[in-house]
Structure 1
């Protein structure tokens, strides 16, 4: 079953309005990245990786031709680099997202991207609801707030004791 990583741009307020910008990157072998490496990199806007791929392919081809290596060995080297591109395509996507200041939110296991989105957003919205319903802000051990309703006993807080002082000095104004 494929594994997806979920990425979001770093913003001041990551709320429900920013969910359309979330990126789901499938981990595993990408066939189209192996077959058409440069086109796949350009399609996914991985510009630095595309430049690096072009430079690496050109350097290996020029280096092997200048050393007098046979065409079969040059072809096998190109096939190995294509396989490497297929295996590392998702890593290049994640690297580009992290360079663009995106953060990884979660890892989801699902059959396809639509199911991964559904599973992620089910968990994410449940977590947002829990964060929005913060009971610790209400229950802090203090007496409940009072309402100003005339004639009701709960509308006035209990008076503070004036004769007793809690602390080091038993009487107000006493000598030390």
Structure 2
């Protein structure tokens, strides 16, 4: 017997806000379009499998911080992890506020590649907040307070002590 409630069509299928089978929702003007030049949020070949692998092999520090950021646990802010942005994969991303959070081990100390990465992200509209592994393990409360301060606009200027690098900041070349 067909369900003929007001929410059903003639075939008995429920009408509603869901997309038809085999279609995305909503259908946008970009459907089927190629990746636009300069759009850093579009997938790059090989980056998605690499990001998936990084999610499976997260470090203890990333795992612990993710436990505090996932499912909107930090004051309702939605974070994602191991996200490809241009040529890089960032540890954590708050998309709505363009905030990248990076967790750094000892091998990142004075790394010219990290400085280049931060500069690239800043130039493309992302603020970067970096933490050392030991800060995540031993001082997670202050780490979360710092993240909230950046999200709420209480930290806006570049700060080497806090390791906050705002979007649009032009870093002086420390390494050549």
Q: TM-score range by the shorter chain?
A: under 0.3
With structure 1 as the length reference, what TM-score do the two structures score?
Answer: 0.21
Instruction: Point out the structure with the larger helix share.
Output: 1
With structure 2 as the length reference, what TM-score do the two structures score?
Answer: 0.21
